[in-house]
Amino acid sequence: MESLFLELKNALEKQMQTMKQLLYTAREHNRALRQLDINLLNSTLKKEEELAATLSRQDQARKNTTSGLAEKLGLPDDVSLSQFTDTAPSGIIGELNAIRESMKSMALELDEINALNESLTKQAMRVNEMILRIFTQTGKAYSPAGKKVEEPLKLSLLDKKV
């Protein structure tokens, strides 16, 4: 059974390393949004997708390990990591708790950065829409009732005739 706990610890350490890389990449994504660096933004998005896929595979491996461990201990399959630490060998308990706390804090920071990145992305989209409206003549060729309008609405803020 100790070998299963070591396997769990190794699986969690791999996930923790991937989360560290994901956190670094999310920070780079944030920097790209703030600096309007499209090349960095594209590379960070690609890297985030790769890391998320890796983390998903690692999580499945961890679930397989915890499932086997839960079966040996007579615990339900959906048991949390903190419940495993109660039955872990004394030499591993501290390490499992440290990994769990580290992963928890990284997950919280990732949530914060992702929320900020989402907000920055939406703000950039609003600015882009406004710029497009300024430089293009846009309008609907149909009225809200669905009838065709003879002359489209002019929403452009820039008078191109001057």
In the chain, domain spans: 2-135
Stated pTM of the model = 0.76
DSSP conformational letter for 153: -
pLDDT for res 140: 47
| Per-residue tokens: 75 | 């615990």
Task: Work out the average pLDDT over 107-121.
Answer: 95
Task: Work out the average pLDDT over 49-66.
Answer: 94
CATH number for 2-135 (one of 1.20.58.300, 3.40.630.30, 2.40.50.140, 1.10.357.10): it is 1.20.58.300
Confidence bin at 80 (pLDDT 50/70/90): confident
Residue 45: left (phi > 0), alpha (psi -120 to 50), or beta? Answer: alpha
Task: Work out the average pLDDT over 57-61.
Answer: 94
